[in-house]
């Protein structure tokens, strides 16, 4: 089974997707980490952040490794472990401008994401989370979820993730509001695709959201089995 989880910044996609993957014994793919790794590489290479062509070339050349174990995420870019570095506020502030809205970078990373998804299918499947998973990356996912929450809840969750105080309230709002506005120009993550289920997590705990998605996954699996029995 492939489960696609889309949604805006701070809606809880990563924690939810990891929890679902762990509970169901599936692999997990954080596509946002891939965009962050490209942004990190562009900045570390001294490339002008506004040079879209150079950023795309860097994305194509980048040796990128990302773990798909939901209990242990590791991101390695050109031999360097960047798992922590890509969460730096500098990367958060620049990822949309450098990578996420660059169509050539998106094409390269979508190609890589689809290859990882294809590789995961024979071993049980994967929970994939990001911006345009159901609409572009995994259009044939057996379960499509759009996870939303109101702006205050999303900001509170992002602040909790960055408990070291390195980000001001203004920077936090910029990450949430401005990134969503930028990314929505190239990714349809705010509108549910055909067959997708929208879950508002504003007043739900993480465990409650995981419960809902796991239940939906089991229902989708059962429906698929029934369909297969009828065809046979």
10 is in an annotated binding site: yes
Under 8 Å between Cβ of 199 and 146: yes
11 assigned to a ligand binding site: yes
Question: Is residue 163 part of an annotated ligand binding site?
Answer: no
8 is in an annotated binding site: yes
Handedness of CA 148, 150, 156, 162 (dihedral sign): positive
Q: Is 79 annotated to bind ligand?
A: no
Is 165 annotated as ligand-binding?
Answer: no
From CA 84, how far away is CA 171, in angstroms rounded? Answer: 19
- Tell me: is residue 13 an annotated ligand-binding position: yes
Q: Please tell me whether 7 is known to bind a ligand.
A: yes
Query: Under 8 Å CB-to-CB from 3, ≥6 apart: which residues?
Result: 17, 20, 26, 125, 126, 127, 128, 141, 142, 143, 144, 145, 213, 217
Strand 64-66 vs strand 80-81: parallel, antiparallel, or unpaired?
A: unpaired
Sign of torsion, CA 196 119 96 161? positive
Distance in angstroms (rounded) separating the CA atoms of residues 160 and 166: 12
12 labelled as ligand-binding?
A: yes
- Residue numbers in the known binding site are 7-15
- Residue numbers in the known binding site for ATP are 7-15
């Amino acid at each position: 089974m492939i489960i696609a989880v889309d949604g805006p910044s701070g809606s809880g996609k990563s924690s939810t997707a990891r929890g679902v993957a762990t509970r169901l014994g599936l692999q997990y793919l954080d596509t946002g980490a891939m965009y962050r790794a490209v942004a990190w590489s562009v900045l570390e290479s001294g490339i002008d952040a506004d040079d879209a062509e150079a950023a795309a070339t860097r994305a194509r050349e980048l040796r990128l490794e990302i773990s798909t174990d939901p209990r242990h995420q590791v991101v390695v870019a050109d031999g360097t472990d960047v798992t922590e570095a890509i969460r730096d506020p500098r990367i958060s502030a620049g990822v949309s401008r450098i990578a996420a809205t660059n169509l050539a970078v998106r094409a390269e990373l979508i190609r890589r994401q689809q290859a990882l998804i294809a590789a995961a299918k024979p071993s049980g499947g994967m929970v994939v989370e990001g911006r345009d998973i159901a609409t572009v990356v995994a259009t044939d996912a057996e379960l499509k979820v759009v996870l939303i929450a109101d702006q205050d809840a999303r900001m509170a969750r992002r602040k909790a993730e960055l408990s070291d105080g390195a980000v001001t309230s203004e920077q936090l709002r910029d990450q949430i509001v401005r990134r969503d506005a930028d990314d929505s120009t190239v990714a349809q993550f705010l509108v549910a695709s055909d067959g997708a289920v929208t879950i508002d997590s504003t007043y739900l705990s993480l465990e409650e959201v995981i419960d809902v998605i796991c239940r939906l996954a089991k229902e989708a699996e059962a429906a698929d089995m029934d369909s297969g029995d009828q065809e046979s």
